[in-house]
Structures are given as structure tokens and as C-alpha cells.
Structure 1
Amino acid sequence: MNEAGLEVLLDPVGDAQAPEGCTVIETEVEFLRHALRPHRLFIRGKELCRWAEQFYRGRGIPVRRIASPSRVLREICPRLSEQQAKELVGRLCQPGIDYIQWQKPADILALLYPNGRWYEPPSEEHSAWWLLWLEEVQISEAEQVVLREQASLWEQDAPEALKPMYEACEPHQAQEVLEAWLGLTSERSTGIQLPLFPCGLPNRWRERISETAKRWYVQGQPKLSEYLKRQDVIRPAKEIVADEGAKYYLNHPSALNKEVLFLLKPYLSHKRWKELEKLLPPQPPGEFDSSQPAEKVLKWVADKYLPYRKWVSEYGNDEQYKQTEQLAHQFIDWLLHFYPRALQDLSLRTSLVFWKVRSSLADDKVTLLVVLDGLGWLDALSLDEHIQQKSRRLKNFTFEPVLSALPTITRFAKPAIFKGACPSLALDTEKKLSDLGEVLPEGNIPIWRLSQAQPGQCFIWRINEPDKTYHERYDSKTIAQDVESELCNLAEKIEKASDSVPSDVPVQVIVTSDHGRLFCSSEKRHCPPSGMQVRERAAWGNPSVHFGEHGYFHDDQTGLLYLHAERFGLAAHVAVPMDVHMFVTEGGKGNHGCFAHGGLYPEEVLVPWLVYVRDVQKPKVEIEVSGSGQAGKDGALRLLIHNLDERNVFIKALRLYMEDQLWKSLPVEKKVDALSEARIEGPLLPSWPAKTQWGQVRAEAVVQVQGVQFELLVQLSVETREMYQKENLLEELE
């Protein structure tokens, strides 16, 4: 304020907020009335400010120009029009707002939307917030300009994978990116691998996923299986899709099959899973054939008996349960004769898990032997699925059933695996056997130790799951989900452990278990035999019984079966119940239990043998399929194979797909030497397609290299002699 007590402030643009205590002058009349009075004058308007500035300059009175907030806005966001800037000023310039401090778009947006995360740097979580916020908000054209400026700054600083998130600046763009990020659209907005969606799903997006899934199910689209297998889609989204699937299949049970059920299982609630499982009984296993070779007997148990036995244990009637009991006892009779022979016969030993371990170690690679506690065959199927979904480096080489050591409790069966010998040798305190490899600390991922591994070394990694979950949560309503979650965690641990071995060192990962478990509940009914210790379904010690020439004795009065230690390679004589019940234990908890083990039932003694190899590369093989045939008649295909790989390959089969559905699978079984060419006449194709239908066919060859199978695309070059044309080739799929 000058000596005359007059302070003059000029606002030529006319959009600045007058400071408190100022007299606002907007007309010539008001100016003449107050021009020389001792006041703080705030003069507004271009012409009036020009006139006032000349007036005061002539009298030696200083004036001060006030910065225009709209011009400040346009300096920060040059793409704002004058009208848009004034629109924003009308919303922003409130008492107490110091627009002189505005320096960047975030300053403006923080006033327009105070709850926004405008000052945070780009990140996965921030980009998700940005898209969810943008997709929901209603914005004006003026706000759109400011948002674009801010998004451009974020995009500049963002990692490559997140840049597409900040390219979206309008609600419809945000929706498209979110749909792609959540896997709802087939096309990704970028070829870059996107991270998992890092935020919780708002209700509106849960509903959107649900509606999309309903369309998929109703339209019968193959996207469902692809969606549930994808690693870049978050679990909550898969759970929504799976739950909609459960609703659909409960209304259309004929459309349900075991492959779909297997895919849905990890993402369903226990209640939903049970509702669906009940709808899909496995086929009865048929008769037990003891004359078959051991590998076929064990495969019958794994593929036929176990799925049916599990279903009957939960949903079956008395007659079905009685049938599976008979089959179980027939298996036990076979086992009593086979097991002692396998201990002595080298050709049969590979059916026993402890001998199989010893014969599977290799000098040219690191062996990571993962010994899980209580991993039954059916759980192993889920574990294998998780491993193959999560790991891009591990390929399944072998997946077969083998027999555990007897009795099927950890204290006997696990040392047998560690030492590669039957329990009588593995637990011999005088002739102590060494472990087959270095036994790693239990549970934790041994990253540091494996990072120093060298070819020829074996590392034994023991993990007390899933047995721990089964026993601790046996009465939980979510036991199936709990176990499935633990299997998923195990797959991640196995992947990380395998990746810890240096990349230039070959690795094989062997996954097996010490025992399985019963599917049904058990009661504590059997009294411990005199002179024997007991645990669950096994007793061991020195009973007073006569074993007979076959090395076992069945006591009809007690229902117990006694096994001779020397005959069965045991650390002591063993007794097991011939029913599904347990021994009474002093101080034991409760009178019944679930998931017991220790006996000889197939589900207790059958354990998985899984072998994975790391970094087996897809073979370089070119295959051309040609042929000529008459539509509707049988025709022969010809295969021309160029093996450009330095490894021998086996062409196992030719698969023809129609609209992503498997139409024909034709066996080939042809070995092709490294760096060579081969021609195959055949295989025979029933019902040669019409010319127009061949355009819908996609062909793949199943090629095996180093024991690992790959599916390779095949070039088709076929001709059709038209006689008639089918309307729809897909009818054969129904």
C-alpha cells in the first residue's frame, strides 16, 4: 500500500479471486468513485485495467497485476482451451485456494478429486486403481484434458508392462484394458506379459465377470478351460467363473465330464464341489485280474479302482461299497503274494518305491527327490496339474503308480525311501545304510544349498504335507479346498527349488510319497495285540502267532492280518486290520478318525512316482500331412517329417481338431532319427471331410523327445473328390 493508503490490484482476465478486504471494481462508474480513496482496489476486466493502469501511472501510483488462474491452468495443460480453463477456474477458485502454487496436473486433480492417488508414482496397484477409478467416474471435456496430461506423465515413468494401463484416459478405454487384464477378452492390449491384477474386485466387476462367464457356458465356448488354466488371471476371478460353471452344470448335468470337474475343483467351495462330484460317478472298475503284470494291476488301481472307491465312500450305496470292499480284499491277496517276490526279483523291484528311487539316480544331472508325507494318487493328479501350470521349465517325464514300503506309516516307509531299501535294511541299527543323498532341512525351500548343486548329486527334500493338513483339519468343512490350496503351495515350492539349481546344470525332480490314506472314516475298534506297539492302522512288535509257510497269518477272530518281518522286509513283525478301522490307542483322541493309514488297502499302499526334467526344449521338427480322398469315404494320409533336431524323436499320434474340439486322434508311433527325413504312409482317416470342411480343420502332431511330449502344429495339404457334402462335420463329436 502506497503513501496515500491506496493499493491497486489489476485482474485483466477477470477470473482471479479477489483477496479478502479488497473493493472489487468492475465498471467505470465504480472506478471513478473509488479511484483515489485510501482503499485496496481490485480492478477486473481488460479495458478497465488498461485505463486504470494509465491513470495511476500518470500520477506515480504503482499497480500490481494479478496472475490469471486460467492462464496458470493453460501453462500447466497447454491443450486446455480458454473456455475449458475458465470452466475449471469456476470450480477451483474458492476462498483460501492459492492457485499461484499450482505447478503440475496433479495439483489441479487433487482439488477436483481430493480422494485420488494423484501424487503416487506408477505401480501395479496404482495402475489398477487408476483404471477402476477412471472406468467409473463421469468427467467433463475440460477434466479430460487434465487427466490426459497426468496420465502421460505416469506413462513416461511406468515400466513397459504398465504403460498400456496409463494410455487409457477415457472410461471406455479403461473398461477395455480392465477386461483384457482380467482375461475377459481374447485380445490383449499389449504383447507384453501383464502382472497379476493386484487389487480386490469391486462388486460391479464381480458381476461383469459373472455375466461374461454365463455367456461362455451357455454358448459352449472353449474359453472356459483356457481361462481356468491361465496363470495371468487372479484366483478371485477364476472362483467367480467356476461358481457360475457349477450353477450351469447343476442345471445341465449331462454336460459335465471329469475333465471339466477337474478344472473347476481348485476354485469351488467345498459345498459346490460336493454337489458336482455327486453328479459324476466314475465307471465301476470291473473285475480284479490278478494274472496281469504288476504295472497293469497298479494302473488298474490308479485309473479304475481309486476314483470309484473315493466316490462310493462319499455318495455310494451299500451294494456299491460292498463291491469296492471285495475288490480291496482281492488286491490285498495279490499284494501278499507279489510283495515278497518283488523284494527278491530284480525284474519286479521297480514296482516298489524304495527300489525305484535307488535305480533312478543319475551321474549326469542333479536329482531333487521330493518326499511328501501322505500324498495319495488322486492328490498327485492335482499336484501335477499345478506344477505344469506354474512352471514353464519343468516337463513331466514319468507319472506312474508304485507300491510304498510296509507298513504304510511314516516311521517305516520314509526311511526306506531315503536309503533306497526295504525297512528291515533301512532301519538296521547294526549295518547302517547311508542315505541316497543329502537330506535337506524339512519344509523350507533349500535355495542356497541347491544353488551350489553339481551333476551327480542327490538332494532329499522332505515335506510333511499334505498329511499335516489332512490330520489337523480332518473335521473342517473346507478340507478339500484346504488340501487343494496346500497342493498349489507345494507346486510353487517345487518350482522355486528346481529353479534354484544353476541353469547350466541338468536337473530331474522326483516327487513321491511314503504312503496314501483311506477315503472313508475309521473307528478305533481293534485292540492292540500283546507285545506290539500301535499307530492308527498298524501294529509292530513280537506277537505270539504262527505265520505259516507264506509268511502271513489271518486271525479270523480278531480280523487282523499278521506279516512276518523277514518275509516282507519289515523292521519288525506287523499286524494290520483287514477292515477300514484302527487300533485303540491309550490316550488317543476320540473314537473315530478320517484319512487313516497304516494298512494294506489299495489307497494306502499305492503312491505316485512323478519325474520332471527341466529345460527340455521343444524339438525342431517340420511335418507336412498330405492325402487325397473321396468325401465321406475312408482315406489315407501321408506324413512327411523333417527332423531338424540333434535328438531322436518319436511321432506318437496325429490329432485333428475341428473348431478347437478334438475330432480325430490317429496313432502313428514312428521313430525319426536326429537330422533325418521320414515318410509315413497312413494313418487311415475314416469319413474323409469335404473340401469346405477341411478349411475348419487344424492338425497337431504329438511328438516325444527325451520322454517328454510336445504338440507341434502340422501343415495340411489335402484334396477332396466331392461326391456329396455333409452339412456339419461336428455331428460326429456329439
Structure 2
Amino acid sequence: MQLEDLKVEESKIPETILQVTYFLNNQQPQNSDDLVTLLDRTSGLLSVEFETIQKHLRDHPDWITPELMDQIEEKFSGLSRRLARKIAALRGLIRPPKPGYPELDWDVDTMLSWATESYLPYQAWCNAHDQFDPDLYAVGDRFSEWLMQNWDDVHANSKRMVFNILPNKAVDLKRTGVTNLVLVIDNLGWAFSEMLRDLFRDKGYFLASAEPYLAMLPSETEISKKCLLAGAVGYQAIDDKTYKGMIEKGWVPYFSDHAFRYISDIGSLSAIETIEAATYVVNYLAVDKALHKSADEIGMPHRDHIHHLLEKLVENTILFIEKHGLQENIRIHVVSDHGSTRIPATVQNDLDPAFFKTNGFEARSHRYVTVSSERFTGLADNLKLDCFFLPANDFMNPDNVLCARRSNRFLPTDKDFYIHGGLLPEEIIVPYLVFEPATVSTQDLTVLLKKNQYRYRMETIELEIGNPNDSAVEQVQVSLLNGNVESEPVRIALLNGKKNMAVQIKARFKVTSILEEQNSLHIRVWFHAHGEQHTFDVQPKIIMKKMIEEKSTNVFDD
């Protein structure tokens, strides 16, 4: 039996716990190396051991690295389910790398990968820790510029607009014997995805897939949510603009008459006595309302309040599922219409709010204004340096619109609250999440080595990592364990079910006399699924060649 397989009932060994506590309290690591030494001396079986490591890292967040967190998670793998949230909180202290500027010629998939894997994690970290980076607005504006330049193509062909979500998922929503619950959470930006994932996981429902989508322009509720729910390419294309009409009548050509039911708020979900529809669409406004209030007004940081609201939303969702006995045949879909951003009053504003109080600017918010046709045609071109121009007919909107660029705003942000309507990634990119109950055991990932011949030099090892499970897996790490190979592990934040991904590992092969290392590549893969860590090894065969192949001296060779 391995040490990590032991189960310890801490309540039955109080004296042992006390002695371990004495020992740990006498250890005072002075740097990250000392902490690793202390970690090596722990058993990984006791909560007090983790709590000691946790305290040192909270006191010294600069010691935390992804590699150290991997070591901690491996050490305390036997307690992983109980400690999952605390470990995630420690990982959250790691400042992500600052994103570089995206390229204007990227395709939509490349841009969304950059945004969700680089820009948004950094932006969310800065926001959560009140460390605003003024350079980030210019980086985000490059995304905005890309979106404007490519709008016609992205809008028509990408299948990544919010109005594409329900048509894209038509097959899932028609699955026989499955009840769908679609939670439409107003103003839920991509950064809140992990919070929802953790809350549902605590209730036994796990992330099956997570995909980014793009809000309509401007990124505001009236336009973007109605296009989302109607599946309409623009606001002008919507006939019945009531939410109930869009949901219960508009989708009849795609689904049966009784397929969709609109629920105006989460409280009304409990009033349903009989399941008569295949899909229930719930409108949830509490997050949006909270984000538009100042932190002083709600009496706590926004993130804490949003966590509380989403926790209650998840609880009500589970009550609905259990009331109707849907535990084994429910799919929970989470969608949103737009995100938002927080711009402190001290951040530079290149617009003069007083100018937009004049005639012709008919409705103003912090990040966009509507403009009369007469005034719109006469706007100076140099205003495009600080605003994006959205002609009504080109964007199928009811009015001409100006959207503020970078950190600009049409109204002062004199309090600590969130605003939207612009084109920054945090305003535009929203999640589509699916949660399901865990009904089958987790399979190991698949690992395909794309080539098997290498030389004793620096090489690029190309792998294809696949997820055969129905549910997504997270925090995937792929490492090479050969003693004669120098390399750094590669990480995949999220891999959706039934999907694969190509990864590359830069590795330097050194000459070795060990036959096993000459003939096989030892690959170890860690990943998280259903709140637990999984590890497995694969050893595909390889052929090692010399740096220079000697030519044969056989006289019969050509």
C-alpha cells in the first residue's frame, strides 16, 4: 500500500496531531526552497500539515509557482476533494503572465484562445487584487480593433456569436429523455466560469464543456440578450421582442410546440409542479444588478457578493432537480449576454463627457451612446481614435451607436462599480457552460506521439492529448520523465469532453547508455476530473538516431 492510500481519522489521534503541530510551528521557512523542504517532510495525510503550508504561502505569495502548487497537490492528493477550494485559492494568488498584443490577422479561434488563456486570466487577477494595469486597456483595444475590422466575417461565419448558441446546441437540446435547464445569467463574464464550476462541483454536478462566445455590439442587455434568446442575427431581425414570446413561440420551427418554457426568475422555478417541457429557460438578473452597484453600497467586494448570489442560484437549481427526480437525466446550460469591466475614476479618459450632453446624443451610458442620424453623419473622423462608430443598419441595431475605446467613458465612473457596452474582451466574451451529474468513472486521457524518431539534440516533441470522457478535464500537465531528457512540462487549462488538442514540448535529448531511455519516451500526465486528481504514465516506443548518420562503405551501394 502506498502512503497516500492510507485513510487517517484525525479525530482518533489527537495526541499525534498535537505533536505534529508542535513540530510544524517550530519550522520557519525563510524562502521557497525551505518551504519545499518542509513539504517533503510532511506525510500529506493531515489537515494541519496543509494548513501550515497554506499559512506560509498566504504570508509569502511571491513563493507560489505553478510547479510548487503541483507538488502540494500531489502531496495532499488523499485530501484533494476536501482541499480543492483551498488549493484553488492558493493557485489564484499566482499572478498570470502579462498578455502580449494580439495580431489583427488572427482567425477567431486563435483570438478567443488568446483572450481566454492569456488576457482574461491576467485581467481578472488584476481586478481581483486591485492592481490595475493601465497598459492593459491598450492591449484590450487591439482585440476591439480586430473585432471591428473582422465584424462582417465573424458575425456571419464564425458560429461564435451569442445568437449562435441555441442553434449550435440544437442536437443536445433535442436529446430524448433529457431535461435541459438553461440559466441565462445577465452580465456573467468569462472570468466567473471557475466560480460556477466549483459551486456545481460541490453539489455533484461537473463541467462537461466550456466554450467562449461573443456578445453583440454594443455589449448591452437589450440587444445582446434578445439576440441570444431569439437566435437572431441582429436586433432589427427580431419580431416578438418579449422574452416569453421569443422562447416559447420563436423556436417552434426548430423544436416541438412544448419544447421551451420561459421562467422569468429563479424563484418561479420552484412553482413548477410537473415537468412538461424539454427545456426550461431561466432569466437571472441578480448578478447584473449587483455589479452595477458600488462595493460600498453592497457592503463587500463584488466578487464575494457574486459568489453568494451564484451559490444561492446553484442551491435553487439543485432543489428543482431533486424535487422532480431529474438527478440522472438533467443537463444544466449556463449562458450570458455580455460581460463588464471596472474602470477606476483615476484612469485616463480621452473623451469629454460634457461634449456628449449636447443635442444629437440621445441616450448615454458609461460605455456607449446612441446618436441621431443627422448628428452621426457629421461626426469628425478624429473621434474614431477614441470611439468606435456603429451605424444602425450595418449592425442591425435600432440606433446609431458610439462605443468608447480603451478606458474611455461617456459618463464619469466616480464609484467602484462595473460598466459595459464597449468592446474590451471582458465586456464581449461570455461563457457557454454545460454541467452534468457524474454517472460513469473517469477514463485516462489518450496520448498520441506524432513522430517517433529523434536525434541527440534539441527537438520538438509533438503530442496529441485527447479526452475520451463526456465531461471536461482541467489542469492537465504533461511531463517527460526520461533521465536523459531536459524539458519543461506543458499545461492545458481545460480540455472539453470528446475533444483533443495538439501540444509541443521542447526537449533536449542527451546520449544515454540506458537501453530503456534509448527505446521509449516516459510520459506522465496529471489531470483533474470531478474534483479529483488523476495520474497515469505512457511509454511509447521511439528510435534515437545519431546526430550525423555515417554513410555505408559497401561498394554495392548506389
Q: TM-score range by the shorter chain?
A: 0.5 to 0.7
2:353 to 501, 512, 525: 525
Q: Distance in 2 between the 1:656 and 1:266 partners?
A: 28
Correspondence 1:457-606 to 2 at 5 A: 457-475=278-296, 478-494=301-317, 497=320, 502-503=325-326, 506-522=329-345, 525=353, 527-528=356-357, 530=360, 532-540=362-370, 542-546=372-376, 556=383, 559-584=386-411, 591-606=414-429
Is the CA contact 2:353–2:409 (under 8 Å) kept in the aligned structure 1?
yes
The answer on whether the counterparts of 2:526 and 2:536 sit within 8 Å (CA) in structure 1 is no
CA–CA distance in 2 between the matches of 1:572 and 1:383?
35
Within a 5 Å distance, the mapping from 1:160-559 to structure 2 comes to: 173-174=13-14, 217-219=35-37, 221=39, 242-250=54-62, 252=63, 280=95, 282-286=97-101, 288-310=102-124, 321=134, 323-343=135-155, 345=156, 347-348=157-158, 350-361=159-170, 362-364=173-175, 365-388=178-201, 390-397=202-209, 399-421=210-232, 422-426=234-238, 433-435=246-248, 437-444=260-267, 446=269, 449=272, 452-453=274-275, 457-475=278-296, 478-494=301-317, 497=320, 502-503=325-326, 506-522=329-345, 525=353, 527-528=356-357, 530=360, 532-540=362-370, 542-546=372-376, 556=383, 559=386
| Distance of 1:258 and 1:654 partners within structure 2 | 15
Report how far residue 265 of structure 1 moved: 12
- Give 1:384's aligned amino acid: R
Contact between 1:509 and 1:613, CA under 8 Å: does it hold in 2? Answer: yes
Q: Deviations over 1:86-116 (max 9, x none)?
A: xxxxxxxxxxxxxxxxxxxxxxxxxxxxxxx
Cα drift, residue 299 of structure 1: 1.7
* Cα distance in 2 between the residues matched to 1:415 and 1:308: 30
* Distance in 2 between residues matched to 1:506 and 1:310, nearest whole Å: 34
Does 2:432 correspond to 1:609?
A: yes
Q: CA deviation at 1:518?
A: 1.5
Aligned equivalents of 2:489 and 2:242: distance in 1?
A: 60
The residue aligned with 2:552 is none
Do the aligned residues in 2 keep the contact of 1:655 with 1:666 (CA within 8 Å)? no
| Contact 1:445/1:496 (<8 A) preserved | no
**2-structure distance, mates of 1:331, 1:266:** 32
- Secondary structure of 2:111's match? helix
Query: How many angstroms does 1:406 deviate by?
Result: 2.5
Deviations 1:420-460 (A, max 9, x none): 223333475599644553222423383564x8447x71211
1: CA distance, partners of 2:179 / 2:399: 35
**TM-fit CA distance, 1:472:** 3.2
Higher relative contact order (CA 8 A, sep 6+): 2
Cα shift at 1:598: 1.4
SS in 2 for 1:333: helix
Give the 3 Å change call, closer, same or farther, for CA 303–654 of structure 1 in structure 2: closer
- Tell me how far apart the structure 2 counterparts of residues 465 and 211 of structure 1 sit (CA, whole Å): 48
Query: Residues of 2 paired with 1:622 and 1:289: CA distance?
Result: 32
Q: TM-score, normalised by structure 1?
A: 0.49
* Alignment deviations for residues 216-270 of structure 1 (CA, whole Å, 9 cap, x no partner): 955463999x99xxxx98xx999886444211435x36788798999999769x9
Aligned equivalents of 1:544, 1:261: Cα separation in 2: 63
For residues 333 and 381 of structure 1, the distance between their equivalents in structure 2, rounded to whole angstroms, comes to 28
Question: Does the 8 Å CA contact 1:419/1:434 hold for their aligned counterparts?
Answer: yes
- The Cα offsets for residues 374-424 of structure 1, whole Å up to 9 and x where unpaired, read as 222222233324433x14343422x22211122222233222222222333
- Partner residue in 1 for 2:502: none
Q: Say which SS state the counterpart of residue 351 (structure 1) adopts.
A: coil
Shift of 1:294: 0.9
Question: In the TM superposition, what is the alpha-carbon distance from 1:610 to its structure 2 partner?
Answer: 1.6
CA distance in 2, matches of 1:294, 1:622: 27
Q: Which SS does the other structure have where 2:150 is aligned? A: helix
Q: CA deviation at 1:360?
A: 0.9
Aligned CA distance change for structure 1 residues 175 and 592 (closer, same or farther; 3 Å) = same
How much identity, in percent, do the aligned residues show? Answer: 15
Residue type at the aligned position of 1:360: K
Q: Which runs of 5+ in 1 are unaligned?
A: 1-163, 186-204, 626-631, 635-644, 668-672, 674-683, 719-734
Give the greater-gyration-radius structure (CA): 1
Q: Give SS of 1:382's match.
A: helix
2:452 corresponds to: none
- SS at the partner of 1:402? strand
Which residue in the other structure is 1:35 paired with?
none
Does the C-alpha gap of structure 1 residues 211 and 576 become closer, same or farther in structure 2, counting only changes over 3 Å?
A: farther
Tell me how far apart the structure 2 counterparts of residues 541 and 494 of structure 1 sit (CA, whole Å). Answer: 41
2 CA distance for matches of 1:597 and 1:165? 50
Q: How far does residue 599 in structure 1 lie from its aligned partner after superposition?
A: 1.4
Structure 1 residues 367, 377: CA separation in 2 closer, same or farther (over 3 Å shift)? same
> 2:124·2:191 contact (CA, 8 Å) conserved in 1?
no
- Structure 2 gaps of 5+ residues are 1-8, 74-79, 252-259, 449-455, 459-467, 493-497, 499-506, 542-558
Alignment of 1:648-667 (within 5 A): none
Distance 1:289 1:581, change over 3 A: closer
In structure 2, what is the Cα distance between the partners aligned to 1:500 and 1:469?
Answer: 29
Given that 1:553 and 1:562 are in contact with CA atoms closer than 8 Å, whether structure 2 keeps it comes out as: no
Q: 2:445 & 2:342 partners in 1: Cα distance? A: 47
Distance 1:414 1:358 in 2: 15
Partners of 1:600 and 1:521 lie apart in 2 by 17
Q: Flag the 1:554–1:438 CA change in 2: closer, same or farther, 3 A.
A: farther
* TM superposition score normalised by structure 2: 0.62
Deviation at 1:620, TM superposition (A): 7.0
Indicate how the Cα distance of structure 1 residues 700 and 289 shifts in structure 2: closer, same or farther if over 3 A, else same. Answer: same
Give the Å deviation of 1:501. 5.7
**Contact 1:538–1:575 under 8 Å retained in 2:** yes
Mapped contact 1:531–1:543 kept (Cα < 8 A): no
Give SS of 2:397's match: coil
SS in structure 1 at match of 2:266: coil
Report the Cα distance in structure 2 between the residues aligned to 1:567 and 1:306, rounded to whole angstroms. 29
In 2, the alpha carbon distance for the partners of 1:341 and 1:261 equals 46
The structural deviation recorded for 1:594 is 3.1
Alpha carbons of 1:618 and 1:354: their partners in 2 closer, same or farther (altered >3 Å)?
A: same
